[in-house]
């Protein structure tokens, strides 16, 4: 682990992000001096709205976003971001949605962005990201960017993603991250760390540096029983085993519906210190890859593929 951490630090120190033209324990950190409102003393309406699908809570300020992070009894409601939000260098030690209380509502970013925020849940904790655990919820139309290329934007133990740590059902669509993500252990992705339970990711992308041990991907660390469509990744991906420019590991469910990646691509540079690394996907088992491609360079100690590092079981690649 130490060697990977050192290599990631070296990569970050010389990387620059190119912008497009366009937690689990403890108290959430304050945003620009604004103290979070903790359950049961949560705000009644954020910047407006009632939290329904037809009248969502409005998220317009750093205080609104901090309140959302701290108010788990609101995580089943609907939210609409109404402006770009600069968190002014705040650091959170928790995320919105945990294993005990997943985010199951809707967050619609309306095409706006969140910036100036870093999230460090600690190396002993899982499910790090702007949203930690999302089960039946929907995250859409949001960008999460961080302009400091020298430090990880999102840091944690395992299941770490720029936007979502673990997407267990639900959907992420029309969203992007330009961040650096680091897992002290396994399962790190530029957008989502782990995807499971019939979840869907579509029309989304990630750019930045992603590092960790096993199952490390430019977009997703590990995906099982899920759909990834019309999405892409760029930047740098580094790990030990099962490292991919787009997805570290893609697996289906024996006797059930397979996972699928379709209409997607990666230009990320992939470096693996172990085995099973690929320009698009490191490891494919009982899953399908359709009409997808990779253009980035790939290097690894063993079992390296320009598109897929290792294709096993009933896994298949077509139209690529």
On the question of pLDDT at 90 being above 80, the answer is yes
Model pTM above 0.85: yes
Each residue's pLDDT tens digit, 250-283 = 998 655 667 899 999 999 999 999 999 999 999 9
Average pLDDT over residues 309-320: 86
Whether residue 79 contacts residue 59, with contact meaning beta carbons closer than 8 Å, is answered with: yes
> Domain limits at 105?
2-318
CATH code assigned at 65: 2.160.20.110
Q: How many CA atoms lie within 13 A of 122 on its CB side?
A: 8
Q: Is the pLDDT of residue 34 over 50?
A: no
Q: Region 229-249: what's the mean pLDDT?
A: 97
Q: Do 156 and 126 contact (CB within 8 A), yes or no?
A: yes
Alpha-carbon distance 311 to 226, whole Å? 17
Q: Report DSSP letters for 227-290, one per residue.
A: EEES-EEEEEEEESSSEESSEEEEE--TTSPPEEEES-EE--EEEESSEEEESSEEEEESEEEE
Q: Give the model's confidence band at 27: pLDDT under 50 very low, under 70 low, under 90 confident, else very high.
A: very low
Distance separating alpha carbons of residues 54 and 10, to the nearest angstrom: 48
Number of domains present in the structure of the chain: 1
Q: List, for residues 201-213, the tens digit of each pLDDT value.
A: 999 999 999 999 9
pLDDT of 152 strictly over 90: no
**Those residues with Cβ within 8 angstroms of residue 6's Cβ, 6 or more apart along the chain or in another chain:** none
Q: Using omega within 30 degrees of 0 as the cis cutoff, is the peptide bond preceding 40 cis?
A: yes
Asked if residue 260 lies in contact with residue 228, where contact means CB atoms within 8 angstroms, the answer is: yes
Tell me the C-alpha distance between 222 and 212, whole Å. Answer: 12
Which ranges of 14-153 does DSSP label H, i.e. alpha helix? Answer: 62-70
């Amino acid at each position: 682990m130490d060697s990977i951490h050192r290599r990631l630090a070296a990569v970050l120190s010389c990387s620059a992000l190119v912008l497009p033209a366009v937690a689990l324990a403890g108290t959430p950190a304050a945003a620009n001096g604004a103290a979070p409102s903790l359950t049961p003393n949560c705000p009644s309406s954020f910047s407006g709205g009632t939290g329904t699908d037809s009248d969502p809570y409005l998220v317009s300020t750093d205080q609104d976003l901090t309140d959302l992070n701290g108010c788990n009894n609101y995580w089943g409601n609907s939210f609409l971001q109404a402006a770009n939000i600069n968190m002014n260098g705040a650091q959170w030690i928790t995320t919105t949605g945990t294993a005990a209380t997943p985010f199951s509502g809707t967050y619609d970013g309306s095409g706006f962005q969140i910036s100036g925020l870093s999230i460090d849940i600690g190396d002993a904790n899982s499910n790090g990201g702007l949203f930690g655990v999302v089960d039946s919820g929907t995250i859409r139309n949001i960008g999460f960017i961080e302009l400091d290329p020298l430090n990880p934007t999102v840091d944690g133990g395992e299941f770490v993603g720029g936007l979502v740590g673990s997407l267990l059902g639900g959907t992420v669509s029309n969203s992007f991250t330009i961040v650096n993500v680091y897992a002290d252990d396994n399962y790190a992705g530029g957008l989502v760390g782990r995807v499971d339970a019939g979840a869907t990711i579509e029309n989304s992308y990630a750019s930045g540096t992603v590092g960790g041990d096993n199952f490390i991907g430019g977009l997703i660390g590990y995906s099982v029983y899920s759909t990834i469509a019309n999405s892409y990744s760029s930047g740098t991906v580094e790990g030990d085993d099962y490292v991919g420019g787009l997805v570290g590991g893609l697996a289906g469910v024996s006797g059930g519906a397979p996972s699928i990646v379709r209409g997607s691509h990666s230009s990320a540079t992939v470096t693996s210190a172990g085995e099973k690394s690929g320009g698009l996907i490191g490891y494919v088992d009982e899953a399908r890859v359709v009409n997808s491609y990779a253009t980035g360079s790939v290097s690894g100690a063993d079992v390296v593929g320009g598109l897929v590092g290792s294709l096993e079981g009933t896994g298949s690649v077509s139209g690529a």
